[in-house]
Structure 1
């Protein structure tokens, strides 16, 4: 388990002695005198710095002293606000969820007609998300490190956010199947949140307009029918591979995705593949070697899918949609693969990070190059399409029946092609 998780609740704020210097920096020197003052928003400042660090580098690699230094206080001064790093994670996730919900509610006006109501709601959520872009993806990737009770409490806030968006969509489509309304709400929030997963630059005005356009593309998507509820035992597909190396790699991806790299152990990975820990080292030199192999394997799969789609396509837009279909099938077959691929970079050896980041970027650029219009905006559309697989997939528990894959593909097509999606 994660160290210090026993402190699941936020720490109480105690009076502290960290101060603000006349030059605006925190702390005092021996030569300074006079009353010490601390900023009124010190606790919120600490939480936001922590959220940014956890979102960008992951929960485990970030130290409390690093957060304190970024804020401009000492480690002991930070502990006067929060008992441990886990309390900081809870506070950051909770503050992010609540402020996002507050932004949505402040932008929502049920008295408006459905279209202007939805447009105002989308723009309000988008503007807030742009403002917190660097830390906005914290809960999406790092929630696996939250204790169950904390995750459940924060999930209530996100459920209220989702319901707020779904209620506005229901006003636009009052006769729609509730499952379609819920799916569109998840897809819309996913498209907005996708900007936190990359650093492609665009002015705030253009980005808000683009997000609004993408969200309306989602709202206008003609969704295929949802599958019937499963009755009886589900049909199991797929046979296990014989290669022990492949088994280890598959199990490592699953365990890294569910628990995070630092929570996984070689013993656990080996047991899942049916061997002991010492035998794992016959195939992989270390846990870091396993993680690097997982990144390489995923990058290869994406690149192969791109190449196959290009070879089969009859047009650029057809190729973009074929890539989307392959990407969704790959992810639904192993849902843990994307949390590993997008959130464990800081745990790779430094020599691997630059090379694998280049592979990721090239795969996105290959996809974006198939889209018409501005290429920077095209990259935002590709990331929003990827987000549909992750977030809508989670919503439907990665149920890989053909009907569900068709619904995800329809959303991805609309996100990628916009008004040309029907062509």
Structure 2
């Protein structure tokens, strides 16, 4: 075919396909979503390519391997946070104003990057030290700025108390990355900022000086031993790097003995997650059984939930970082039960504070659960009696 001027005209089927100018950014966005949802090892490059609408070969033209892609997505998230934090004027006369602005900025950044914000959970686990250092620097800088304002407000605080409260405030404003509950952006930002700022005035009990009580006796059943040893190994080294042979050796059985109880590593992981889900569900029943008012129910829910997770620190670390290794239908079933539990908590928050409404109460439940998870996971010395008051304040207010 030709045009009236004699130049050839390309048919629709032979037209040149122009590469989008933002192809690299499309790949990074798809990768950030995948890594945020599933961690590092569970994500495949062909999955990222499909999500970006390109072939795997086209992806390799931009990134040589998965690690390079992970490294750039993680550093990109950190850079966005750094830019946002730098935009808040420092050394303001009123520390509460500066802290409020910092909290609002982090909340906005978390909401804007909601589908990719989960990356902050993986950077320390999968990045090489040299690549992790710039990311950690951003996190540390943000923490120190907030802690400085907190200490200006409450100079009597110990370093341990200031760090714990600052970490809890950060978890609250970063919590939108951990769930998909719906709330208008402006409402969500204001709610999270105000709730986080309310933690400034929480009085924490003095850390206990005596060592924690002994853990007690371990089960003798082989299945339980395998489950416990697997979780310890997964927490220490990551699901991907642990073999069935190593699980067997730690459990005192050959690899074939492991397979008599579980079909593979993923089956062990699923069993552990369901065990955790059952325990958190039982917390609800037990808490309600000893409560006579909605407020008492919230206090008991928090106390029992915190105690369960402080007693299962390895499991919460594995759950936070390795759930992506389960098949999608298995993850869906677990998350369905999580939503049921969240709705139960939400019901009692609304009954205690009807002015909130269900949507805002649900946001607070997710914020409280995120704070508990982060404080237990990031600080093995944290105690239930010191985490509980922070979570109660998030849910109950003053």
TM over 0.5: yes
What does the per-residue CA deviation read over 1:194-250, in whole Å, with 9 as the maximum and x for residues that have no partner?
Answer: 21111001110110011012112211212222344x7xx876432222111111112
Corresponding position: 1:414 with 2:393: yes
Unaligned segments of structure 1, at least 5 residues: 1-27
State the partner residue of 1:6.
none
Corresponding position: 1:367 with 2:348: no
Deviation, 1:416, is 1.2
Aligned residue for 1:285, secondary structure, equals coil
Aligned residue for 1:384, secondary structure, equals helix
Corresponding position: 1:279 with 2:257: yes
Corresponding position: 1:192 with 2:176: no
Aligned with residue 39 of structure 2, among 20, 39, 58: 58
Deviation, 1:163, is 0.9
- Structure 2 distance, partners of 1:249, 1:78, is 38
Aligned with residue 380 of structure 2, among 395, 398, 415: 398
Deviation, 1:315, is 1.4
**Alignment TM-score, normalising by the size of structure 1:** 0.83
Q: Which structure: greater helix fraction?
A: 2
Aligned with residue 314 of structure 1, among 287, 292, 301: 292
State the partner residue of 1:303.
281
Q: CA RMSD in A?
A: 2.5
State the partner residue of 1:126.
107
- Structure 2 distance, partners of 1:265, 1:142, is 23
Q: Which moved more, 1:331-340 or 1:145-154?
A: 145-154
- Structure 2 distance, partners of 1:356, 1:179, is 35
Aligned with residue 155 of structure 1, among 117, 127, 136: 136
Whether the aligned pair in 2 keeps the contact of 1:105 and 1:164 (CA below 8 Å) is no
Change in Cα spacing, 1:253 to 1:29, as seen in structure 2 (3 Å) is farther
State the partner residue of 2:91.
110
Corresponding position: 1:31 with 2:15: yes
Aligned residue for 1:183, secondary structure, equals helix
Aligned with residue 327 of structure 1, among 300, 305, 309: 305
Q: Which moved more, 1:284-293 or 1:347-356?
A: 347-356
- Structure 2 distance, partners of 1:174, 1:398, is 25
Whether the aligned pair in 2 keeps the contact of 1:55 and 1:142 (CA below 8 Å) is no
Q: Which moved more, 1:358-367 or 1:168-177?
A: 168-177
Aligned residue for 1:262, secondary structure, equals helix
- Structure 1 distance, partners of 2:371, 2:300, is 15
Aligned residue for 1:406, secondary structure, equals helix
State the partner residue of 1:209.
190
Deviation, 1:109, is 3.2
State the partner residue of 1:248.
226
- Structure 2 distance, partners of 1:240, 1:177, is 37
Corresponding position: 1:377 with 2:360: yes
- Structure 1 distance, partners of 2:15, 2:328, is 42
- Structure 2 distance, partners of 1:298, 1:266, is 22
- Structure 1 distance, partners of 2:75, 2:328, is 32
Whether the aligned pair in 1 keeps the contact of 2:27 and 2:49 (CA below 8 Å) is yes
- Structure 1 distance, partners of 2:160, 2:266, is 41
Change in Cα spacing, 1:79 to 1:352, as seen in structure 2 (3 Å) is closer
Change in Cα spacing, 1:149 to 1:331, as seen in structure 2 (3 Å) is farther
Aligned residue for 2:241, secondary structure, equals coil
What does the per-residue CA deviation read over 1:358-396, in whole Å, with 9 as the maximum and x for residues that have no partner?
Answer: 21111111112111231122222122112222222244x
Change in Cα spacing, 1:45 to 1:143, as seen in structure 2 (3 Å) is farther
Whether the aligned pair in 2 keeps the contact of 1:332 and 1:393 (CA below 8 Å) is yes
**Alignment TM-score, normalising by the size of structure 2:** 0.88
Corresponding position: 1:354 with 2:354: no
What does the per-residue CA deviation read over 1:108-165, in whole Å, with 9 as the maximum and x for residues that have no partner?
Answer: 4322412221111111111111000110011214642333443344322211121121
Aligned residue for 1:226, secondary structure, equals coil
- Structure 2 distance, partners of 1:326, 1:258, is 26
